[in-house]
Structure 1
């Protein structure tokens, strides 16, 4: 499965056919440091149960760590992965 990072849209995507799963984020400042808030994960019903949300989260967290961003998770799914 291929996860695509679209920084221009502030999201990570998985697409197949007409279905799209995504994890949305926003960049911000937290206590004077660059940070990211992962605030929404959505997997359409037809794609659920295949570990796509976990793959999106793994890719997003890996990217944030590589960028040395402080990580915030308003999304409960991402928060459980921290």
Structure 2
């Protein structure tokens, strides 16, 4: 079961972040506002936080936000790719 965490979105830095102890788990993206395309290109979870479902929560938050914005989504991050095919 995943712990309840606060996900922070930093649009200026194009990332979603979860603070985990003194480290950060993150989902990074690049956005082309003209074509309205978003590319999720990296997920990172510190070793001390792996296995807690943090990457999944970040990806779900990112996809949910992108859908609400009407962005066309793609993923060059292999972890994110299956979420877009579901």
Q: TM-score, normalised by structure 2?
A: 0.88
Counterpart position of 1:36 = 38
**Structure 1 residue 27 and structure 2 residue 8: aligned?**
no
Question: Cα RMSD (Å) of the superposition?
Answer: 1.2
Q: For this pair of structures, how many residues does the alignment match?
A: 80
- List structure 1 segments (4+ residues) > 3 angstroms apart after TM superposition: none
Deviates more, 1:15-24 or 1:57-66: 15-24
1:37 Cα offset (Å):
0.3
3-state SS of 1:27 partner: strand
Out of 56, 59, 68, which is 1:57 matched to? 59
**Structure 1 residue 14 and structure 2 residue 18: aligned?**
yes
5+ unaligned residues in a row in structure 2: which ranges? none
Higher strand share: 1
Q: For 1:16 and 1:52, how far apart are their aligned partners in 2?
A: 9
3-state SS of 1:66 partner: helix
Counterpart position of 1:70 = 72
1:16 Cα offset (Å):
2.3
